[in-house]
Amino acid sequence: MKRLLFLMLIGGASLVGLAPTVSAQTTDTTRTSKPQLNTAPPGGAPAPRQPAPVYQPATPAPATPAPASTPDPNVPASRAPYDPSRPSGLDLPQRPGVAAPAPPLRKYFLYTNFGLGFNGFSGYNQFSASLAPAIGYRFSERFAAGPGISYAYNSYTFGRGGPTIKTNSLGFKGFGQFIVYKEFFLHAEYEVTKAEVLGYDQSGNLGIFKRTVRTPLAGAGYRTRFSDRAAADIVVLYNFNDGFDDIYGQPVIRFSFLFDLK
């Protein structure tokens, strides 16, 4: 009996000594087997945080100017295609890069001249003065022509102490001008005049006779402008009729005034 109790005491002590160990093992097993949450992203260490993108407004591309269009001179402005840079169809001179349009060509002009001439022939001297107004028409910027009338005064002197005879003549003419270079031009005229000229009668007496005289003239001149509508010319002409019935002398120097009409 005593031996049985002794064994039971020893067995109980052994169980009591083993209890902390089992409990410790159980606690360690419980702690070891508890799952742990993995907060790291898969694939390694987390990437560094990127800064937020900054908004950049789009910059418009520079506009390419439209090529300048040259209007067709054969197409009237009313039928020309629409040009946004010329909404009215006209080139305004105040716009940069646009040349001022040329002024319109004035077709008609008043052309009057005052002429002087001197000639010596067969022992007598001749002084002449003429006035010849005309209306001119410009066929182009360089060529003009027109009709007119002419008046000529002549004074003939026959040597020292000789008689002095005066005549008056009136006629019609046509003229033409061609501008060669800038203000230099060629000038030609043809006149048909009911003239008073010197002549001898059947008895050999010197007198004044009326006849039709044709006078071609040609030469060159220079023009000086006072404004866009007024100018003055000086013209030197050769008289192709320098015979006895000449009414102008040789050479013929004329001072002319030009005035553009509306």
Q: Is residue 22 very low, low, confident or very high in pLDDT (cuts 50, 70, 90)? A: very low
Query: With contact defined as beta carbons under 8 Å apart, do 196 and 250 qualify?
Result: no
Token digits for 29?
């097993």
CB atoms within 10 A of CB 172: 15
Token representation of residue 49: 């945080």
* pTM exceeds 0.85 for this model: no
Segment 117-143, tens digit of pLDDT:
887 766 778 788 889 899 999 999 899
Q: How far from 82 is each of 53, 64, 69, 91, CA to CA, in Å?
A: 47, 19, 11, 13
- Tell me the backbone φ, ψ of residue 28, rounded to 5 degrees: -65, -40
User: For residue range 149-207, what is the model confidence (pLDDT) as tens digits?
Assistant: 999 898 888 777 677 888 888 999 999 999 999 899 999 999 999 888 777 777 777 77
* CA gap 97, 95 in Å, rounded: 6
Domains of the chain: 108-260 (2.40.160)
Q: Which pairs with CB-CB distance under 8 Å and at least 24 residues apart come from 40-49?
A: none
What is the residue-averaged pLDDT of the chain? 75
Residue 235, Cβ neighbours under 10 Å: how many? 23
pLDDT at 111: 92
Q: What are phi and psi of 32, to 5 degrees?
A: -70, -35
